[in-house]
Structure formats: structure tokens, C-alpha cells
Amino acid sequence: MKYLPKTDPEIAKLIKSEDKRQETTLMMIPSENVVSYAVEEAVGSSFGNKYAEGYPGKRYYQGQQNADQLETLVIERVKKLFKVAHANVQAHSGSPANFAVFTALLKPGSKIMGMSLNSGGHLTHGARLNASSVYFNAVNYDVKPDGYIDYDALKRLAKKTKPDLIIAGTTAYARLLDWKKFADIADSVGAFLMADMSHISGLVATGVYPSPVPFVHVVTTTTHKTLRGPRGALIMVTPKGVKKDPDMGTKIDKAIIPGIQGGPHLNAIAGIGVALKEAGSKKFKSYSKQIVKNAKTLEKTLLKHGFTLVTGGTDSHLLLIDCRNKNLLGNTVALGCEVAGIVLNYNAVPFDPNPPFSPSGIRLGTPGITSRGMKEPQMVVIANFIDEVVTALQKSKARLKVADEQAASGEPRLDMTEREKKRTVRTELVAKTPELKQILKKVEALCKKFPLTKVYPV
């Protein structure tokens, strides 16, 4: 940084602190990744100064010759990479992208059907209180007790409720989605089928994960997860979508503007364009394959340590772990891991008996650590670290329980699981786990061996 420290030392300090945090910890939240220096340069470019409300050739302001060329170029890269008929690159993020599709293809009060939040779906797929269920009539499908999607129940629900649009997409589901089954169900009730592939778009771009494009009408995705781009989103109309409604692309463009947004973020679009070019390279395909290999290695090692994985494992970039057999809440494990330099997130598991803000599970993924160049041997080491964290927390919880019982002086035994739902108790539990600092040193040493180079040549 050249100018920022002089202009705003407070912000500069925070940026340096965040740089250090990312460099010295393991980024294992599945929806996070490390963009290249090239993407960072594009996002920080002069395109951030330009207002470009409208679309190429149809802007509301002057001085658009470069903006038009940029957006057209990025649109063509999307169409080529994902083999779609139409693309909109202006959505600011995944949530407005999804809402734009709903408003383009449906009327207020129309029925949408998406995976329930408890089963691994996203807020924008019809969760209570989200705009997707406030302005539309939302019904949810679920997974079976084994954690897999119940396609038979999904079909029965679709026949019964007759949704206008079905969403095939997840945010905490580790297995492959059967696009054909979704398509057969949607076609049988005459519904639009939308794939939200935000988590897997980088894997889809390289053929590591099956593409939904031949089976669905419209596709949405964020650009900052496995696609390894800046924060933004894409909306794509497939050939099947054009066949169902030749005006679908125009409707979606109008839903973005003037529907729910104003001017696009041209600097983000520039960064997305760079990421798309990177994603079309052979190196990126190798990277995508390694993401899955790393996840499978984590799976095998965690299972050896006695962890319970929802569905028993993974086919993609993420794993969902049920911590109940470890007698710990997901919050406690997530906090303990963070203190030890392993950054993941607490998450509900299917049929979770605990409330959303103190759920039973954790969610972790491999895109970010794979971007550092880590491979299978390092996954074994990381899984061992996670086991060490959990074992240490278990011991601390047992000590805390004994202390509480002794303090109770013969009163009824305290329920530690209920007490653990309080943030103060979790904080105390983690604070009284000295082993975490020793694990942190080992994590930092591993990170030092695999620095954040951010150089991803195409």
C-alpha cells in the first residue's frame, strides 16, 4: 500500500491485520477463496469510478465505450465457459441474482420450491422471513435421515403443491445433485427449473462436477467460491430455457434493471472476467480436481478419528460434520478451531435437535486451502489438527462439568449441553483449553510452508 496508510491509517491497519489473519490461518469456510493478484488489480481499477446504468449499447450516461466492451467480453466468456445461451453479469451478489430470476419469471404469490434451510438449502430458496418466502409462496423439500435428498418425496411434494419454479441448489450439501431427476420432476408439473450452483460453479466449469445446463432453464451462481473470483453473481439462461421461453433472457435483464438494481459494479465485472479466463485454463482444472481430492482425504481421515459426517462423506468441496457424538455444539468446535487457526463455520445438520444459533454441526471446505497449494498429505495433517482441537475441548468440558457439580453442593446436576448454548459458557470453555495455543503454532507453521502467493497463471 502506497497512499492508504497516509490518507487513512486506521483502514490501512485493518487491511494489514486482515492480510495477516488470512496468511496465518487455514481458510476452510466452503464459500471463501483467495483471488489472484490479477483479479484484485481488476477490482481495484478505474472501472470502479464509472457509472454504467443500463446494458451495452443502451446506457443512460455517456462515456461508455470501454464499459460496453468490458461487459460484452465478460458475457461472452460466461457463455463460452458454461455453454449457455444468455448471460447477465450485473447482479451484485447471489441473493439479488436469485430474486431477479423469481421476479422475471413469476408473479408475486407464485409458488417456489427449494431445499429447506435445515436440510442444507439457502436462505433465498424460500426460507421463512427471507424475501423469497415473503413475496412468493414457498414450499420446501427435505433430505432423508441418511442426509441424501429424498427425490421420491420431492416428486410427491411437487405433484401435490404444483410449484411454478423449483430450485435445485444447496449451501450445506456435500453430495452430487441429480440434475436429471430434478428436470424430470419439474417437467412433470410444468415448472421452471433453476439451478443455484453458487458453491460448485468452479467445479462445473471444469467438468469436475456435472453441469446442470443441459437439464435446467436458468442457472445462478456467485463468483467468489470455487470459481475463485471477486464477490458478484451471474445469471444464465440455458438452451432449454430459451426453448421454454424465448424472451427469458430479456425478462431477466429487465428484472435486474430497472427491476431490483441500478448501475452495475464495473470493477467487479472486470474481476469476474479475469476469474473466468483463469477458470478456462488447464491449471484451473487441475486445481478443481485437487479441491475434491483434498475433500475426500479429509473425509477419510476424519472418519478414522470417529467423526460423524452427514451422508457419510462428500462428492464435492465441502463436508458437513455432526458433532453430537463428540458431545460438543458446533459453535464450540468452530470457536475452538478459530482460536487454533482453523477457520470454519458452525452449521445445522439435518433433523438438528438444537436451535439454529447453537446447532450440532460444523461445515468446512477445501477451496481456500487448495489455493495455497496444499494437497492430500496436508489434509491428513489438518484433519489431525481438528481432532486435537475437539479432543482438547472435550477434556475442558468434562473439567468444567465437574467444577460445576462440585460448586452445586449437592443440588441437581447441571445440564452442560444446555449451559453450552450460552456464549459466555462456550467462551469460558475455549479459554480454559490451553492446548489450542499449541495447535495454533503448528497451524501457523503449516501456513508458512504454503504462503498465499495469489499467482494463478492461465
Gyration radius of the chain's alpha carbons: 23
Question: CA neighbours within 13 Å on the CB side: how many for 360?
Answer: 18
Q: Which of 363, 375, 372 is nearest to 292 (CA)?
A: 375
Longest dimension (CA), the chain: 79
72 in catalytic set: no
Q: Where are the alpha helices (DSSP H) in 25-147?
A: 37-43, 65-82, 94-105, 131-134
DSSP structure class, residue 433: -
Helix (H) or strand (E) holding 424: helix 423-431
Identify the active-site residue in 53, 150, 388, 435.
53
372 in catalytic set: no
C-alpha 206/C-alpha 201 separation (Å) is: 9
196 in catalytic set: yes
Question: CA neighbours within 13 Å on the CB side: how many for 429?
Answer: 34
Looking up cell 467445479 gives 203
Question: Which residue type is seen at 432?
Answer: K
Backbone angles phi, psi at 280, to 5 degrees: -90, 5
Looking up cell 436451535 gives 355
Identify the active-site residue in 206, 221, 222, 433.
222
Give the distance from CA 440 to its chain's centroid. 25
Work out the burial of residue 361: count CB atoms within 10 Å of its CB; fewer than 13 is exposed, 13-18 middle, 19 or more buried: buried
C-alpha cell recorded at residue 114: 427449494
Identify the active-site residue in 24, 40, 51, 240.
51
225 in catalytic set: yes
173 in catalytic set: no
Helix (H) or strand (E) holding 192: strand 192-196
Backbone angles phi, psi at 85, to 5 degrees: -90, -25
Identify the active-site residue in 79, 111, 231, 289.
231
Identify the active-site residue in 142, 164, 196, 322.
196
Is the CB of residue 399 less than 8 Å from the CB of residue 321?
no
Q: What residues are labeled active site?
A: 51, 53, 196, 222, 225, 231
